[in-house]
Amino acid sequence: MAKLYFKYGAMGSSKTAQALMCKFNYEQKGFKVYIFKPIADNRKVINGKSVIYSRIGLTSDCFEFDKNFDFLNYFKNEKFDKNRTVIIVDECQFLTTKQVEELKDLSLEIPVLCYGLLTNFQTKLFEGSKRLVELAESLQEIKSVCRCGRKATINARLVNGKAVLEGDEVLIGGDESYEGMCYSCFKKLVEKK
């Protein structure tokens, strides 16, 4: 159904895997799927091409966007069937407010599914996530668990086993840099000496 979806979860909650499975399902039914990721996410390159990659090994070729990418202009010049086209955005927290508004406009005609983090390592909303919460017709939490077994809600940035609260908002990384955890475990790691 043509609307804007925001599917969010903590680090390690299988957001990318779910985005790739969604792409597969639509393509299996004959839809044209445009899947995007931020150009800053340069962790995985196959045969010289940047790809979307999940920790469980799923991959896909993709389109990339940066802060200047104009989704409306791109799709204005693209030939596509409005009844058989879907847009998927991985790592959507890196979208700008303007880009989320462009995707909202596109979602009036085609489904737009956005997968990403809600908050940064300082427990504050990302710009793109904030605007998605404000505009999306469908908000869905992708749940994951903390090391203690509680629900993971925090994206802790770890340095030498300690959760840090200082630094640039964007530091591309995976399990070596971040861990999804509950607030209680996060607080313990922040206060760790």
* 91 tagged catalytic: yes
Domain membership of residue 154 (yes or no) is no
Instruction: Assess contact for 92 and 130: CB atoms under 8 A.
Output: no
Say if 159 falls within a structural domain: no
Q: Is the pTM of this model over 0.95?
A: no
pLDDT in tens, 22-54: 999 999 999 999 999 998 776 665 666 778 888
Residue 156 lies in a domain: no
Instruction: Note the pLDDT tens digit of each residue in 57-85.
Output: 888 989 999 999 999 999 988 877 888 99
Catalytic residue among 27, 64, 78, 91: 91
CATH code (residue 93) = 3.40.50.300
Tens digit of each residue's pLDDT (9 = 90 or more) over 105-135: 999 999 999 999 999 999 999 999 999 999 9
